Amino acid sequence: MRIFIWHGYLLSGTGSNEYTRALARTLRRQGHDVTVFCQDPDAGSVDMAGAKVVRPPLPGPLPVFVLDRYADSQPALLPELPREVLDEFVAANVASIRAEGPADLLITNHVLMGGPVGAASGLPFVVKAHGSELEYAMRGNQALCDWGRDSLQSALAVIAGSHHIERVVEDLVGIDPRLIHVIPPGVDTHTMRPRTRDEAFAGLIAEAGRDEPNAGNERLPDDGNAAAFGSFFADPERPTAVYVGKISEEKGVPLLIEAAARLDMATLVVGFGPARVGLQAQAGPEVLFTGPLQHRHLRYVWPLVDVSVAPSVFPEAFGMVAAEAASCGCPPVVADHTGLAEIAAGLREYYPARLGDLASFPPRDVDALTDRLGRITSLAPEERRELSAAARDAVVGLWSWDSVVDRIVALTGLVDR
């Protein structure tokens, strides 16, 4: 099949960016002809498994949900942009799509702006709702919700990564529930897999050594990470935890830092965001901030640490980093709400019953988080191996990319409904 993927942003970093890249790579590996439309100025350096990448021209600002810095684009919050500016953005992207000719399927990201782009393209299209557009831009804005609803009427389907996002789409946009298909994001179980400590340590040091100089760019790994990792992982007996994601109050990072301090647990905080400076000043010497890391690093980080934590206090569409950690055999502990709760439920299907409660903790409950971290890192070696293997089995059974892509491609059968 000839498949187009429209994504208005980059190809690495945040969840929808990683989703787009992984989707394109998996489709290519399955033999499809894939073209990706995005705004990544460095797309040529990203391994897309042979997918073609097109960068549509921007007639004005780049509509975003949270303000971040972009190398050569001017971002502006979607709800603050007048409709005529948003219409120009849609028209420019649709022109780029049409210039590439026909396609069997167009997959667009985000109800806004993916819905309007898909609807105007004239191609059979599905929309992947990610959650950020719903919570940060559309909630409380009736005009945007109405635009989203109108745009989705001609879609083959709306893909929700979790039942939580399914409910949010129904609540905010009010479309026919039969249009929504719950298909969780996928995990590259070939790349994200368990490794021996020696392999993971050598791989992480080597990848950190290949990082380009940071030069003050918050979207790049910190300078000196290779040496820092060498010290951090020097003692194989020291309990370790990791957080991967945006560094913000909404993501619950302060909860992890407090829990880790109570346990004197060595902790990696991986990512960038507005709360980094303040949290780094508060954190003790056992906490290492690394800046954002890519999958080439993370495939080695997770097999090295005892537990991965997703402590978000804000609604989450799914919990991709938790699933990726589990795929590496690193048990995740997630806040038990929204899409993260669905990760926990999946893990508990595979965990031994006596260890099932280790998958999650009540939201905002630092005492419970401290309990889960302490118990996981105190497991006997054979129990630790049992938990690690169960986490891996859950991902292979529930969230592999090949199964996800097969379900998305199957939606083209709805064209004659």
Predicted confidence at residue 174, as pLDDT, reads: 95
Q: Is the pLDDT of residue 415 over 60?
A: no
In this predicted model, what pLDDT tens digit does every residue of 320-376 receive, in sequence order? 899 999 999 999 999 999 989 999 999 999 999 999 999 999 999 999 999 999 999
Mean predicted confidence (pLDDT) in 385-404: 94
In this predicted model, what pLDDT tens digit does every residue of 381-393 receive, in sequence order? 999 999 999 999 9
The tokens for 399 are 């969230």
Predicted confidence at residue 215, as pLDDT, reads: 94
The architecture (CATH level 2) of 2-186+401-416 comes to 3-Layer(aba) Sandwich (3.40)
Q: Which of 49, 40, 45 is nearest to 17 (CA)?
A: 40
Predicted confidence at residue 70, as pLDDT, reads: 84
| Integer Cα distance of 201 and 52 in angstroms | 34
Residue 311 near residue 243 (C-beta atoms within 8 A): yes
| Integer Cα distance of 222 and 228 in angstroms | 10
Which numeric CATH code is attached to 197-398? Answer: 3.40.50.2000
In this predicted model, what pLDDT tens digit does every residue of 36-81 receive, in sequence order? 999 999 999 899 999 999 999 999 999 999 888 788 899 999 999 9
The rounded percent of the chain whose pLDDT value lies above 90 is: 90
Q: Which of 17, 91, 87, 86 is nearest to 53 (CA)?
A: 17
Predicted confidence at residue 8, as pLDDT, reads: 92
Residue 179 near residue 158 (C-beta atoms within 8 A): yes
Mean predicted confidence (pLDDT) in 280-297: 96
The tokens for 404 are 């996800």
Select the more confidently predicted residue: 219 or 300: 300
Give CATH 3.40.50.2000 domain extents, the chain: 2-186+401-416, 197-398
| Integer Cα distance of 161 and 175 in angstroms | 17
| Integer Cα distance of 415 and 124 in angstroms | 7
At residue 414 the predicted structure's pLDDT band, cuts being 50, 70 and 90, is low
Mean predicted confidence (pLDDT) in 173-191: 93
The rounded percent of the chain whose pLDDT value lies above 70 is: 99
Q: Is the pLDDT of residue 417 over 90?
A: no
Instruction: Record the pTM.
Output: 0.74
Select the more confidently predicted residue: 67 or 33: 33
Mean pLDDT of the chain: 95
